[in-house]
Structure 1
Amino acid sequence: MSKRPVIAITPGEPAGIGPDLMAALEYDDDVDWVCIADPDLLDDRARLRGRQRHWPRYAPGVHGPSILPVALAHRAVPGVLDPANADYVLSCLRRATEGCLAGEFAALVTGPVHKAVINEAGYAFTGHTEFLAHAAGVAEVVMMLVAGSLRVALVTTHVSLASVPAAITGARLDAVLGILDAALMRDFGIARPAIAVLGLNPHAGEGGHLGREEIDVITPAVVRAQARGIRAIGPIPADTAFIPARLAHVDAVLAMYHDQGLPVLKAHGFGGGVNVTLGLPFPRISVDHGTALDRAGTGRVDTGSMASAMALAKALASRHAGP
């Protein structure tokens, strides 16, 4: 990779806040940012903000922010979802993924998508994480959110609560702990990371009285991880895992399901947190908020999470490139 990383950005749902973020952001001079989007969409949102932004067309060697055009099916109205534009959202993601896999882009930053409208259009879509894993041909990936020094990874992601226990298998835990440990070392520069593994049940099962998942599945996985040289600790009761005294001694927390760990992280750093997909052959970082349909086109834009995602993408792209 050249000294100037080329990083792709997909703004996400065209009726949402993503295009507004593209118009409001400031872009680092030492990165070539490539926004994969409809040029008219970005121009429309820039005009709503009372500003003009010149986006040169992307081509290898074009420095600074540029645009790789993908056409909308229908002109987007801020705040109004249109299933006809679902294919546009997925086409932007496909082009970005292809570029990352080919080495054209050093990393991918994604804006928020609206899962329901994509599914309404007839596409089976559970989220960025699953889409990118499938596109990259990767069997196992890990979703991790980062807010400052707090890192929370997930064993399961977008599944119903009723489906969680069956999805927490020894094989899945083995894979997640391996991916998380490797990423913390390679991407975050932590020599020997400590990972706090949460229990599934209240009080981590209370010795089997509140469930046996800790005894039958989670503890054996922690022991296997330790035998592989991973500093896994647990299972720890989720209700005390996030107190500062405990967090001071760990580099990441591994939660069993989405709403076990993420409410704490978002309360800790909402607006500046980011979502990182671990296990892909390229860095992917996303904002930690939704499409904010009510704010699209109004000028009420908070760029904090997107700016954090772009800063982390730049850092991870550098580490992936090696010395």
Structure 2
Amino acid sequence: MTERPCIAITPGEPAGIGPELVTRLSDAFPQARLVAIGDPALLPATDNLEVRAVRTAAPVTPGLLDPRNAAYVLETLRTAVSGCQDGSFQAMVTGPVHKGVINEAGHPFSGHTEYLAALTAAPMPVMMLAAGSLRVALATTHLPLRDVADAITPERLDTILRIIDHDLRRFYAIERPHILVAGLNPHAGESGHMGREEIEMITPVIERLRDAGLNLTGPLPADTLFTPGRLDGADAVLAMYHDQGLPVLKHVGFGHAVNITLGLPIIRTSVDHGTALDLAGRGVADTGSMRAAIHEAIAMGQRGR
């Protein structure tokens, strides 16, 4: 019998909905060993859920943030990453965290993607969200809009497109991924009349990578890129910034979309939503995205062996 894959799950902010989502799904994946990393008081073990204990620093009240527990959240992530690195876990799934309270506690934290990249010494993590067959990756993540254009360099685009191509081949068994690349400006710059980034940066990178064998189309106007005619036959879209691509993805798949970090030496998936403090402790939060994230981690782990 094939050994079941072992998946680490970090429930995220202890006062949010993460712990209860993990608990409610604890027996939903008999094909895998699930290991929740967190406080056993929040995560009762079941027949199919092991708990690796990391204790909170302060008592937890659902819905009420406490900066004293910020270090606990980060320790659960470090434990999961360490286990993925040493082979104890094939993948990790992360529940939602609250960036504000982590920073309030004195821990600089811009998001899971950047934090996990730092822990694994990954030079260029790539955020990709998936909902069914639609996959949207980002050239920039959590940046103010005024900083986006300066952050998009030829070197960055080259690296990101190579990572997307590589990881789609490895973790999704796509032989030659077709990637659509969005322009930065309205109408993809309108031949330079609405910006020259497409002419001076994006197009040269695409042409160079096509010559290297990548299957790329673009730069395309973002307002017509996400239409059935364009998306048919595409394996992923590269959007230039967070709110260019993710509103479409979340409109299509909110509640069952998965956040995936490409470019790491480990497999990491996550939910597509926040901590939902107003729902915490009530047992009514939708488990769809957490269920999808666990399923995706199992599948990626099996394909990426």
TM-score interval (norm. to shorter): over 0.9
Structure 2: how far apart are the matches of 1:110 and 1:126? 15
Aligned to 1:283: 267
Q: Please state how far the C-alpha of 1:296 moved relative to its aligned partner.
A: 0.3
Structure 1: how far apart are the matches of 2:98 and 2:283? 20
User: What secondary structure is seen at the aligned counterpart in 1 of 2:36?
Assistant: strand
Aligned to 2:76: 92
**Please, what TM-score do these two structures have when normalized by structure 2?**
0.97
Structure 2: how far apart are the matches of 1:23 and 1:311? 16
Q: Which runs of 5+ in 2 are unaligned?
A: none
2:170 aligned with 1:169, yes or no? no
2:242 aligned with 1:242, yes or no? no
User: What secondary structure is seen at the aligned counterpart in 2 of 1:143?
Assistant: strand
Q: Please state how far the C-alpha of 1:301 moved relative to its aligned partner.
A: 1.6
| Partner of residue 170 from structure 2, selected from 186, 199, 223 | 186
Structure 1: how far apart are the matches of 2:258 and 2:59? 29
2:7 aligned with 1:7, yes or no? yes
Structure 2: how far apart are the matches of 1:289 and 1:315? 21
Aligned to 2:64: 80
User: What secondary structure is seen at the aligned counterpart in 2 of 1:293?
Assistant: coil
Q: Is 1:41–1:75's contact at 8 Å kept on the other side of the alignment?
A: no
Q: Is 2:210–2:216's contact at 8 Å kept on the other side of the alignment?
A: yes
Which residue type is aligned with residue 300 of structure 1? V
2:130 aligned with 1:146, yes or no? yes
RMSD: 1.0
Structure 1: how far apart are the matches of 2:268 and 2:60? 26
Q: Please state how far the C-alpha of 1:55 moved relative to its aligned partner.
A: 4.2
Which residue type is aligned with residue 6 of structure 1? C
Structure 2: how far apart are the matches of 1:5 and 1:42? 20
Q: Please state how far the C-alpha of 1:207 moved relative to its aligned partner.
A: 0.6
Which residue type is aligned with residue 74 of structure 1? A
User: What secondary structure is seen at the aligned counterpart in 2 of 1:124?
Assistant: coil
| Partner of residue 228 from structure 1, selected from 212, 216, 228 | 212
User: What secondary structure is seen at the aligned counterpart in 1 of 2:225?
Assistant: coil
Q: Please state how far the C-alpha of 1:141 moved relative to its aligned partner.
A: 1.3
Aligned to 1:35: 36
2:54 aligned with 1:105, yes or no? no
Q: Is 1:55–1:67's contact at 8 Å kept on the other side of the alignment?
A: no
Which residue type is aligned with residue 257 of structure 1? Y
Structure 2: how far apart are the matches of 1:208 and 1:116? 39
**Please, what TM-score do these two structures have when normalized by structure 1?**
0.92
How many residue pairs get matched? 303
| Partner of residue 132 from structure 1, selected from 109, 116, 119 | 116
Q: Is 2:138–2:238's contact at 8 Å kept on the other side of the alignment?
A: yes
- Runs of at least 4 residues off by over 4 Å: none
